[in-house]
Amino acid sequence: MTLPLLALDPARSLTLPPPDSASADTVEILVGLFLLLLAAKVGEEVFRRLGQPGVVGELAGGFVVGPYALGLVVPGETALVLSEIGVVILLFTVGLEIKTDELLQVGRPALLTAVLGVIFPIAAGTAYAVIAGEPPATAAFVGLALAATSIGITSRVLTDLGVLDRRFGRIIIGAAVIDDVLALILIGIVSGAAEGDLGLATLGLIVGAIGFVGVGFAIARRARGLKREVFTWPLFADTPLVPVFLLMLGLAILSAFVGLAAIIGAFVAGLIVAETEAQDEIEHEIKPLASIITPFFFAVTGAQLDLAALADPLLALSAVVLALLGIATKVLAGLIGARGAGRWSALAVGVGMAPRGEVGIVVVTLGLGLGLLTPDLFSVVLVAVVLTTVAAPLMLNVVIPRAAAEADAAVPPLEPGSAQAPGSG
């Protein structure tokens, strides 16, 4: 009694939609979602049993059932939306773990890492493409595709390894958020320039983006100690979850409207709730949602990985070189930007900034659409983006335990003169 057989037999021969609100289409979509979730979890299981990061397994699972491998699932509208809600929830949970005070403490190294982590890859990518004979606008776009960090991939690894509360963890998150804002502004400028449409719109983007993050941060500062009742006064809110979920989704949408990524708004929502008395309860309640919906982000990202360019040795070589450039420049940015945090910690920051993930995929797809990237170049840059995405978690798995050990050695767990109780160390 196999599923495909059933799929082809009685339901179809009746030519009837299953007579509840589920049309035949809805059931087909549910099958796709089921396969994506199952593939992500089987992939995670296999990779973790091999001692590798679960997130790479989720990407691999999505790739395997996706259109560029077995072709069992082609992510459609619903899978893409669930993927987006998944990464929104992920970044919300990251913000939920961080106090604004702690972000301000790492402000300098995070800012420096982010700025260098945008400048270096753009310079290297542009130089590489110019040397390869590409026109300047195209070369700039190749550089740009290497600039944006996928905060989603790294956040997941940091969460899995339980190091979000480490100093280097905070630097990575702070730097990745700043990097995202910078990269999105640059992408807006380059795309605007490519379409001959610059000036006021670009200014609006810059003001909107910086204004949104600034106002969000200021609200988080003022949210400190807000009572749980701020969220639970409605009768429908037995717990703060539904109002907080609406806040998260609302800020994610607002953030997209001002030209930023939706995840930036979700992160800001997390920062705000983190300061309130509802933090503990929300942390507990958001987990089941995250564990079901977030895997769609990784599975769908995996399903979008087109590795066709790897079949041509020359293109494959170009992609590998570009990926190495992409990783090396981010590592360099981390080593310089976070040099005060210790050798391994600075390395962890650099590697943490390396995955380009879905942001890189969207940038290269945009470049193809704008006519700035030829199909060959598109494939090369795309595979380079994929390689950074898969390599980064594998490298973090090695680097982060060392960075954590280094930090433990530098700062004894129980500081003398600290007001903390021994149990909280």
CB 117 within 8 A of CB 149: yes
Residues ≥6 apart with Cβ < 8 Å to 329: 117, 120, 121, 123, 124, 146
Examine residue 2 and tell whether it contacts a second copy (CB under 8 A): no
Q: Residue 50 corresponds to which tokens in the numbers above?
A: 């091999």
Piece in contact with a second copy (CB under 8 A), picked from 39-47, 116-124, 393-401, 403-411: 39-47
Cα 316-318-321 angle, rounded to 5 deg? 110
Q: Does 418 bind a second copy (CB under 8 A)?
A: no
Per CB under 8 A, does 401 bind a second copy?
Answer: no
Using the rule CB under 8 A, which residue among 70, 74, 193, 201 binds a second copy?
201
CA dihedral (358, 363, 367, 373) positive or negative: negative
Q: Residue 20 interacts with a second copy (CB under 8 A)?
A: yes
Of the candidate spans 110-118, 187-195, 372-380, 393-401, the one that interacts with a second copy by CB under 8 A turns out to be 187-195
Give the nearer residue to a second copy in terms of CB position, either 44 or 406: 44
How many C-beta atoms surround the C-beta of residue 242 within 10 A?
Answer: 15
Q: Which is nearer to a second copy, 291 or 418 (CB)?
A: 291
Return the residue matching tokens 């949104």: 212
Residue numbers 58-87 binding a second copy by CB under 8 A: 76-78, 80-85, 87
Tokens 């570009």 locate to: 322
Q: Please report whether residue 375 would count as binding a second copy according to CB under 8 A.
A: no
Span near a second copy by CB under 8 A; candidates 93-101, 203-211, 271-279, 392-400: 203-211
How far is the C-alpha of 207 from the C-alpha of 196, rounded, in Å? 20
Q: Which position among 147, 331, 354, 359 is part of the footprint of a second copy (CB under 8 A)? A: 359
Q: Does 268 bind a second copy (CB under 8 A)?
A: no
In the bound state with a second copy, the residue whose beta carbon lies nearer, of 166 and 356, is 356
Contact indicator for 353, 172 with CB cutoff of 8 Å: yes
Contacts of 2 (CB under 8 A, 6+ apart): none
Q: What is the DSSP letter of 308?
A: G
Interaction pattern, residues 243-262, with a second copy; x per rule: CB under 8 A? --xx--xx-xxx-xxxxxxx
Tell which one of 283, 285, 306, 312 touches a second copy (CB under 8 A): 285
